Amino acid sequence: MAIEGDIAQMGALIGAGLATIGMGGAAIGVGNVVGSFLSGALRNPAAAGGQTATMFIGIAFAEALGIFSFLVALLLMYAQ
């Protein structure tokens, strides 16, 4: 019985570790957004200021999915 509990817990912790891979995807997404913004902004700096809010909204959407994977990891570790 104790061993089964240990194995279940081990699985949960491994799953939590695997869930953090999703953060890499969020990192790629945020990097893409900011990189594209910068390359656009350096070509036309005059128009860049008005688009900062749009950039932050894009970052927020990309980042939310990374936060979801963090949440899954937390749920696996603590909510059982």
Which chain residues interact with another protein by CB under 8 A? 9, 13, 50, 53, 56-57, 59-61, 63-64, 67-68, 70-71, 74, 77-78, 80
CB of 3 to another protein, least distance (A): 15
Please calculate the CA angle 51-55-58 and round it to the nearest 5 degrees. Answer: 140
Q: Do the Cβ atoms of 22 and 65 come closer than 8 Å?
A: yes
CB of 47 to another protein, least distance (A): 14
Token representation of residue 13: 């912790």
CB of 50 to another protein, least distance (A): 8
